[in-house]
Amino acid sequence: MMTVYLNGQFIPLEEARIPVLDRGFIFGDGVYEVIPVYSRSPFRLPEHLRRLQHSLDGIRMANPHSDSEWAQLIQQLVEQNEGEDQYLYLHITRGVAKRDHAFPSPPVPPTVFMMSSPFPAPPSALLRAGVCAVTADDNRWLRCDIKSIALLPNVLLRQIAVDADCAETLLLRADPNKPGTRFMTEGAASNIFAVSNGTLLAPPKDNLMLPGITYDVILEIARANDIPHEVRHISADEVFGADELLLTSSTKEVLPITRLDGQPVASGEPGPMFGRMHALYQEFKREVMRK
Ligand code: PLP
């Protein structure tokens, strides 16, 4: 049985109820976080809480809790659920009010919801063979840095991959500075790195992608281990010609993309950058958990 947190109470999932006029339900007016928990300890919590604050600022909502309150609530929820490793979902909406696009005035209490499930460790077959991806035009809004619960564009984009029996959709956006060309922003629910001639290429963190917590860890690892890397726009041509493509997210960690739009990525096998990054990421996690 899963215990969830809803507006101050820890209750069984089956008993959690939200009024239909919640602005999350009506407008998708809210933000969220997904935090991996290893050995019952949230991974990179300060970074997740900083991103949560950025998302709340982006939608002009007050943070209902201080970081130490969040840390306590999260720890309590983790203790009440099964699994040493979990992934915790945290969701805040602008609350319940008469349906009107304008913010409720005066403000109403936000809806705060959290749940935590056993961590779905990426199957080793995926690590050995890699996953396939497809590309699509990035037709989302211009504030992809906000972790908004309004995920319809991401849902539709991800489904393109699912319909092709693939794991992810790589998003390519038209480059306003170079008409007729596109650059890669991220995946429908992940960040994407390319590898070219031994250099790890990362798209810059801007308003067109979610600043991934795993993305930051990968770049930290690259810096600490003198792995050549560049943070810059990656053109669609570079994506299709890459030696390797890596997918990162809190729940997928690091995965190799070995097929793109039905064609093998280079040899079609996970490459050396993936092998090294995956090993270093696991080491990084163990190191953090020991502290
Ligand atoms: N980009 C998008 C659109 C995502 O939804 C996610 C995570 O779900 C990511 C990137 C990866 O972010 P993180 O590493 O913080 O999980």
Q: What is the pLDDT of residues 59-72, one digit of tens each?
A: 999 999 999 999 99
Gap from CA of 191 to ligand 1 centroid (Å): 6
Q: Would residue 252 show up in a list of annotated catalytic residues for this protein? A: no
> Burial letters for 155-185: b for 16+ Cβ neighbours within 10 Å, e otherwise?
eebbeebeeeebbbbbbbbeeeeeeeebbbb
Q: Evaluate: CB of 168 within 6 angstroms of ligand 1.
A: no
Overall pTM > 0.75: yes
Q: Evaluate: CB of 213 within 6 angstroms of ligand 1.
A: yes
Picking from 142, 123, 109, 129, the residue whose alpha carbon sits closest to that of residue 30 is 109
Q: What is the pLDDT of residues 92-125, one digit of tens each?
A: 999 999 999 999 999 999 999 999 999 998 899 9
Gap from CA of 159 to ligand 1 centroid (Å): 16
Q: How far is CA 64 from CA 16, 25, 96, 191, 258, in A?
A: 19, 19, 15, 28, 42
Residue 289: pLDDT band with limits 50, 70, 90 = confident
Picking from 137, 184, 134, the residue whose alpha carbon sits closest to that of residue 164 is 134
Pairing of strands 229-231, 199-202: parallel
Q: Evaluate: CB of 212 within 6 angstroms of ligand 1.
A: yes
Nearest CA to ligand 1 atom 2: 189
Q: Evaluate: CB of 185 within 6 angstroms of ligand 1.
A: no
**Does the pLDDT value for residue 258 go beyond 90?**
yes
